[in-house]
Structure 1
Amino acid sequence: MSTPIALAAMGLVITEQAAITNIGIEGIMLIGAFVAVAVSYFTGSWVLGILSSVAAGVVVALFMAVIHLKFKADVFVAGIAINLFAIEFTRFLLRNIFNTAGSFYDPNIVPIPSITIPIIDKIPVLGTLLSGFKLTDYLGIILVFVTYFILYKTVWGLRIRFVGIHPLSAETGGVHVNIKKYQAMILSGIFGGLAGAHLSLGYTRQFIENMTNGRGFIGVAAMYFGGVTPINTWFASLFFGFTEALGNNLQTFGLPSQFMLMIPYIATVVAITIGMIRKQKREKNNLL
């Protein structure tokens, strides 16, 4: 349950480092989820499904980047517009391509395969904890450390962070600020597309209207709670995945489902509050 949140959050960390809060990640994930299912259904290939989802994510992210960077629209307004568009656009496609409403499932949809780790799989406790998950679950963990390396161990990452901290100084130093921001948005689209593909081909094997269900916004909370750093953000994503799993499992004890389903969102509000307080303290210390 943490994987789509973590993947989205990694893309958000990159754009936030470039001073873009990409709340449109929710819409990117949703469109990616639909494209992944549609391509997997028509081609019989989960690989093409993932690649198409990533491509769709990049297109949507670039569209949002153009709205914000070229036409100077407020980034939050642009993000909300993308999210609302994604809900209705995928609903429209669902009805017109598959002649159904609500959800689409078919045996011809090829899911992302599960990976069994040979030796660990036989160990009683470790086998359950570490083996048998979807390929994108393991890929998500790897990409956390790849994101850390890109941001903190490469010249490109240094320039992205410099653009976010002081764009005028970056321009003076010969860095094209808008190009770097476009690049950050492209990476965000890749991560968002992967997150959407995992939702529809890994976490489930179908497309459901608005199936992201706020996970993009939870990714924003994870990013802030993690201090806009990849490793801490990943741990925050694990926490939110845990709260979602906790809410689902507590329903089996007869507790009201409405209250149990609220747990991840209550945790999100608390995390955003804590994250913003920490951010204000950091800004205050910087001014001092």
Structure 2
Amino acid sequence: MNVDLSTIFNMSLINSTFRASTPIIYAALCAAITQQANILNVGIEGIMLIGSFTAVTFSYITGSWVIGVLAAMIAGCLISGLIGIGHIKFNADITAIGMGVNLFALAITRLLLQVLYGVNGSFASPYIKAIPRISIGFFSKIPVLGSILNNLTITEWILLPTIILLYFVIYKTPYGLHLRAVGAFPEAAKTAGINTTRKKYESLLIGGLVGGLAGAHLSLGYSAQFVNNMTNNRGFMGIAAMFFGGANPIHTSLGCLLFGFADSIGARLQSYGLPAQFVLMLPYIVTILVLTISVYAKIKNDKRKESSLVKREV
């Protein structure tokens, strides 16, 4: 196989990497928010899938992508609220609830696709209003910026401000301090007068809004249709990236770029005869590597802390 590297590694690769990473980054931010309160939201995959279906449905009915996105965020918030009730109020295992939500989302969206639209597999219509793409004439005159920044959707443009805002709220405000205290030292937080139950619910609801936005971007921004299981494990990739970045919005987002890069490289190599099965497998290989590195780093860090504590006691 004769591969021309210049057709693979060029400036457009940055654009395609960012586009492929965007829904994963939103999913990872959803996971990072809840993880701050020590809640591993395994149901992100289901939240995204329901958000995708809701966005398409409301965009189709109303002819407005804005209403579609808002409806998806509300749907994500409601699903996260149900997860919170099961986990916080009834003390159910968060992993079991999350996997239940994922299976429910897969089944209910497939059913509604048949009941509402009479189709199987996918639904597309000219009445579905996609999230607009923005091209700035000034950037098109600059070769590098033009290939990277032009023709991005609004949800892709607001991604960086969202990352910065979440980082600022979590690490630079009293609210974020209280949220992190609830996750790291719940008993101390209670002693300080912080309502830990309320903070956990808030983290889930805020995370649900971001998860719903991730689903809306997938169906109205990344594409303009709904396809069965269109999340394709992006929620789990987001969780892996969250562990990789230590639930820090900036570090987590950088980890997501690995998945987008693997997906973009795989798609380009496929044109050279690389088996489609291998291309589909690449993001999951990266997921395993990211989780392995994250677990190894955590073990090393825990051992370092334990060694330091022993030395202090001695």
Partner of 1:193: 212
2:169 counterpart letter in structure 1: I
Q: Within the alignment, does 1:21 sit opposite 2:46 as a pair?
A: no
The alignment's C-alpha RMSD in Å is 0.9
Deviating 4+ runs (over 6 angstroms) = none
In the alignment, what sits opposite 1:275? 294
CA distance in 2, matches of 1:170, 1:118: 51
1:83 to 93, 98, 102: 102
**Paired residues for 1:234-249 under 5 Å:** 234-249=253-268
Q: Aligned with 1:119: secondary structure?
A: helix
| Range that drifts further, 127-136 or 46-55 | 127-136
- Distance in 2 between residues matched to 1:122 and 1:28, nearest whole Å: 40
Cα drift, residue 117 of structure 1:
2.3
Structure 1 residue 139: Cα displacement: 1.2
User: Shift of the alpha carbon at 1:118?
Assistant: 3.0
Which residue of structure 1 aligns with residue 225 of structure 2?
206
- Quote the sequence identity (%): 48
Supply the distance in 1 between the matched residues of 2:67 and 2:145 (Cα, whole angstroms).
32
The Cα offsets for residues 165-220 of structure 1, whole Å up to 9 and x where unpaired, read as: 11001001000111100000011101100100000000011000000000000001
- Helix, strand or coil: the match of 1:262? helix
Q: CA deviation at 1:281?
A: 2.6
Alignment partner for residue 73 of structure 2, among 45, 49, 54? 54
1:230 shift after superposition? 1.0
| Equivalenced residues, count | 288
Does structure 1 residue 157 correspond to structure 2 residue 176? yes
Q: 1:215-237 CA distances to partner (integer Å, 9 max, x unpaired)?
A: 00000111111122111111111
Q: Which of 221-230 and 115-124 deviates more?
A: 115-124
- For residue 125 of structure 1, report the CA deviation from its aligned partner: 2.1
Separation in 2, partners of 1:78, 1:105: 31
Q: 2:131 aligns with which of 86, 89, 112?
A: 112
| Structure 1 residue 285: Cα displacement | 3.3
Residue of structure 2 aligned with 1:36, choices 52, 55, 67 = 55
Q: Secondary structure at the match of 1:283?
A: helix
TM-score by length of 2: 0.90
Q: Which amino acid aligns with 1:79?
A: G
Please give the TM-score of this superposition, normalised by the length of structure 1.
0.98
- For residue 249 of structure 1, report the CA deviation from its aligned partner: 1.6
Higher CA-based Rg: 2
Q: Distance in 2 between matches of 1:160 and 1:285?
A: 26
Distance 2:31 2:141 in 1: 37
- Structure 1 distance, partners of 2:127, 2:244, is 40
SS in 1 for 2:271: helix
Q: Which consecutive unaligned segments of at least 5 residues does structure 2 have?
A: 1-19, 310-314
Structure 1: runs of 5+ lacking an equivalent: none
Distance in structure 1 (CA, Å) of the matches to 2:60 and 2:42 = 29
Q: What secondary structure sits across from 2:137 in the alignment?
A: coil
